[in-house]
Amino acid sequence: MMKKYQELLKSAENALANAYAPYSQFKVGAAIRAQNGKIYQGCNVENVSYPCGTCAESGAIAAMVADGEKKIREILIVAEKKAKIMPCGACRQRIKEFADEKTVIISADVNGNFDFYRIMDLLPCAFEELE
Ligand code: THU
């Protein structure tokens, strides 16, 4: 159990408890520690029109940006039904927008086991706009 990430895990689990996933039954929570030290949470929010659903990471990023923050120091993701999950492809791109080489992406389980990744490993050869 790594103490350093307990607060982030708790926060992601709180969001997970509120996840709205009546279609997939797959609840996900995410928590970001931003540059300012604050924690922002998100959960997946599904929709009867399936493609309208949003991921937990999207919600956490939106909360951070709405609060005026632009830099993710750590982002932790936890799911209810699976030991550890990885951010989907679209969320890797969303994380990249607000990450740098020091940003830590943490895949967690509810028992406090963590795997650590960096965005350049999860999204190599990412799209960049031309000069
Ligand atoms: N989901 C997330 O919230 N984050 C991910 O990184 C992967 C998938 C959600 C989307 C959908 O509501 C449910 O998990 C099943 O795919």
User: Residue 117 phi/psi, 5° resolution?
Assistant: -140, 165
pLDDT score at 1:
55
Distance from residue 86's CA to the centre of ligand 1 (Å): 9
Looking from the CA of residue 56, the nearest atom of ligand 1 is 3
Residue 36 to residue 116: CA distance in whole angstroms? 21
Lowest mean pLDDT among 12-21, 72-81, 95-104, 121-130: 121-130
Q: Which of 32, 55, 57, 94 has most ligand 1 atoms within 8 Å of CB, for mutation?
A: 55
* Residue 120: closest CA among 94, 88, 84, 92: 92
Residue 14 corresponds to which tokens in the numbers above? 């709180």
Give pTM, 2 decimals: 0.96
Tell me the pLDDT tens digit for each residue of 86-122: 999 999 999 999 999 999 999 999 998 999 999 999 9
All domains in the chain, ordered by first residue: 2-122 (3.40.140.10)
Mean pLDDT across 70-83: 94
| Reported confidence tier of residue 29, pLDDT bands at 50, 70, 90 | very high
Q: Are 29 and 41 in contact (CB under 8 A)?
A: yes
Mean pLDDT across 12-22: 98
Residue 65 to residue 118: CA distance in whole angstroms? 21
Mean pLDDT for the chain overall: 96
